[in-house]
Chain A
Amino acid sequence: MLKGLILACAGFALFLIIHVPLFRLQLSEFRFRTMVRLALVLGVLLLTVHRATPSDLWVLPSAYTRAGWAIDLLNGLMVFTFLFVGYSMFYFLIDRGFSGRIMIEIEASPLRRLRPDEIAARYSLEMVLQRRLNELLGIGRITAINGRYCNTSKGRWSAVMFAFVKKFLQLGEGG
């Protein structure tokens, strides 16, 4: 089982290293799509390397090489996938986190302190919503015709699903 874990961690480390220059070079708005594609390529590479190398990776003690190849590979791919999902969480926190933006705005202010209305003046509701609308347009969840925004079929499905989850788990209107 150790071989799969090691290859998954190595694959994820490679992902972290490669995505930085890609992001720095890329001018496109669709960075997350790039992340997903890179992870898919590395996932295929992980699979290939797993099948092409011996179960002990030339160095592992024999006690760690007794697992079947399929379960080892499955475990490695799952760990790699979930490391990517975990990093996506972190990425969205950096890119879109409202709370993070609040802290950065407070730190950037001359006296390093702000009232709620001062925060709102630096980052208005219109700015928050326009950014979300652009993102939703980019991922095909909504369309814009003559300044009016409508859900696409994907957007309608997401809205129904999330509305159900919010209601069932009593999460309030949120946002």
Chain B
Amino acid sequence: MRGLLAGILAFGMYFLVQAVVFHSVQVSRRALVLAGLWLGGLPVYVWFYTWLPDDRSVWPAPLVAPSDVTTLFSGGLLYFFLFMGYAQFFYMAESSVGVRTMIELASEPEKGLTLEELTKRYHYDWMLDRRLRRLVHAGYLIEEMGYYRTTARGRLAAAVLKWCKRLLRLGPGG
């Protein structure tokens, strides 16, 4: 339990800190801040692990794990997985078109919206431009005289995605 509890406590601390940071500062490099804060939380995880008592002095036998490398690793893995799960939620809130659609529909709870009315509420240029800028910044695309083309990394990512789509029969997607 020591490793798992340390992982949960460290993630709880991370969650609070990132919430305070994003609430008080307008962050532009969100991925960097999210990942940076998580990395900064690793020593906090180790501190929680050393601070918590040995399982044998607290928990009944079925819940006792020896204080060894495997337990330390398991707690660290939990801290990592909780972060990944939260990152998924964060980006769903930040970028998901589906989420934005539900929020737009919530503004007209009684009569709802048609596809045409919904389309007028979006700025497609802005949506597209935001994604293109991110892809350029992440090194997947290059902009040349108004045209966008893939870098070697972008070509690899496109090929992997296309292969996975074909393997799982997912259609063009997007």
Contact = CB atoms under 8 A, between A and B. Distances in A.
Contacts of A5: 70, 74
B148 A174 contact: no
Contacts of B90: 169
Nearest to B61: A68
B4 interface: yes
A11 to B, nearest CB: 15
A76 B102 CA distance: 36
| Chain B interface, >50% SS class | helix
Given A102-B132, A107-B158, A148-B112, A113 B93 contact: no
B94 A163 contact: no
B93 A169 contact: yes
Given A71-B63, A119-B128, A141-B102, A169 B135 contact: no
Interface of A: 1-2, 5, 20, 23-24, 31, 63-64, 66-72, 74-75, 78-79, 82-83, 85-86, 88-89, 91, 93-104, 106-107, 112-116, 119-120, 123-133, 135-136, 141-142, 145, 147-151, 155-156, 158-160, 162-163, 165-166, 168-175
The 6 lowest CB-CB distance pairs between A and B, nearest first, are: A101-B174, A175-B100, A82-B81, A70-B62, A150-B112, A159-B106
Interface of B: 1, 3-4, 19, 22-23, 25-27, 30, 55, 59-66, 68, 70-71, 74, 77-78, 81-82, 84-85, 88, 90, 92-103, 105-106, 108-115, 118-119, 122, 124-125, 127-129, 131-132, 134-135, 140-141, 144, 146-150, 154-155, 157-159, 161-162, 164-165, 167-170, 172-174
